[in-house]
């Protein structure tokens, strides 16, 4: 077995292990702490992050961990595991099963592999750079839809929604009026995985962090889609907005979003 394939399989084992913790905790009383006005953390977030730290770091000697609950910087090192232990914590706290474990390996300036696992739905998405993307073992591809009007789009609202309320509402209004509909699942990792497998034709959101997007970014591109910054430049982890699509509607999405500025 090729080393990269072996590593991918090991990572999938790690995310399944992490997902089992979420399932085990699902019916327990949620110990919720507010990091901000609407930004939550639970003991499950912390427990999953600890397990992923312990299981992932030995897989690549010299690697570091950039994770939501323990980060001290938003900049990955040369070789870094970028981890969101429980994307969709607000959903989790309210018993909504759209929650995800997101793991990506950043190496030498880009994401090399990634996995997004929805444990309550048992949906596992993964991909490797140049090797395609998969959903529960089957190769996946982005939507073939080429009309924005017939496209289902996903978005999300940042924790800084009050500070950004006017541009957020302007973009939402423009997109809602120009598409088949908009969905807001409450998990950016899920939104990107669902864009990669063709359920959504596109996704956009502002003020996300590296752990929200690293794995999903790779999935969309490996499934044949396009990911960019708002101005159409190549996406980077420091961009204030991510725009992801099947590629066919990308120019229309960008034009619409840029027109609200």
Q: Are residues 24 and 152 in the same domain?
A: no
Digit-coded pLDDT (tens) for 148-202: 999 999 999 987 778 889 999 999 999 999 999 999 999 999 999 999 999 999 9
The pLDDT of residue 260: 76
Q: Are residues 14 and 119 in the same domain?
A: yes
CA proximity to 205, closest of 189, 224, 221, 222: 189
Q: Indicate which CATH number applies to the domain containing 121.
A: 3.30.540.10
Helix intervals (H) in 118-203: 165-178, 188-196
Tokens of 142: 């982005």
- Please give the Cα distance from 160 to 183 (Å, whole number): 19
Q: Are residues 134 and 165 in the same domain?
A: no
The pLDDT of residue 38: 43
Residue 122: pLDDT band with limits 50, 70, 90: very high
Among 139, 157, 176, residue at a domain's last position: 139
Q: Indicate which CATH number applies to the domain containing 168.
A: 3.40.190.80
57: helix, coil or strand?
helix
CA angle 44-205-154, nearest 5°? 85
Q: Are residues 135 and 43 in the same domain?
A: yes
Please count the structural domains in the chain: 2
Among 91, 110, 139, residue at a domain's last position: 139
Digit-coded pLDDT (tens) for 24-48: 999 987 777 665 564 457 889 899 9
The pLDDT of residue 244: 98
Q: Which domain holds residue 175?
A: 148-258
Quick one: average pLDDT of 9-34? 90
Bridge partners (DSSP) of residue 228 are 234, 243
pLDDT beyond 50 at 1: no
Q: Are residues 71 and 130 in the same domain?
A: yes
Digit-coded pLDDT (tens) for 206-239: 999 999 999 999 999 999 999 999 999 999 999 9
CA proximity to 79, closest of 105, 52, 104: 105
Q: Are residues 130 and 157 in the same domain?
A: no
Digit-coded pLDDT (tens) for 58-79: 999 999 999 987 787 889 999 9
């Amino acid at each position: 077995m090729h080393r990269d394939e072996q590593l991918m399989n090991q990572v999938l084992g790690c995310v399944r292990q992490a997902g089992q913790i979420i399932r085990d905790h699902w019916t327990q009383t949620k110990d919720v702490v507010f990091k901000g006005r609407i930004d939550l953390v639970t003991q499950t977030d912390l427990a999953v992050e600890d397990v992923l730290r312990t299981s992932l770091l030995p897989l690549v000697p010299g690697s570091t961990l950039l994770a939501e609950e323990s980060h001290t910087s938003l900049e990955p090192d040369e070789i870094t595991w970028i981890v969101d232990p429980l994307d969709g914590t607000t959903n989790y706290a309210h018993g909504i099963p759209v929650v995800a474990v997101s793991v990506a390996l950043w190496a030498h300036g880009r994401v090399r592999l990634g996995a997004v696992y929805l444990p309550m739905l048992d949906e596992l998405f993964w991909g490797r750079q140049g090797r395609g993307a998969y959903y529960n073992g089957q190769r996946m591809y982005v939507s073939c839809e080429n009309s924005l009007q017939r496209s289902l789009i996903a978005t999300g609202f940042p924790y800084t929604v009050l500070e950004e309320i006017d541009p957020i509402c302007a973009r939402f209004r423009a997109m809602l009026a120009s598409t088949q509909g908009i969905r807001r699942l409450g998990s950016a990792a899920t939104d990107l995985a669902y864009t990669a497998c063709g359920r959504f034709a596109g996704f956009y959101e502002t003020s996300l962090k590296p752990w929200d997007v690293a794995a999903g970014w790779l999935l969309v591109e490996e499934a044949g889609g396009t990911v960019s910054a708002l101005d159409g430049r190549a996406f980077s982890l420091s961009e204030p907005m991510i725009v992801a699509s099947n590629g066919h509607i990308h120019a229309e999405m960008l034009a619409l979003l840029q027109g609200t500025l």
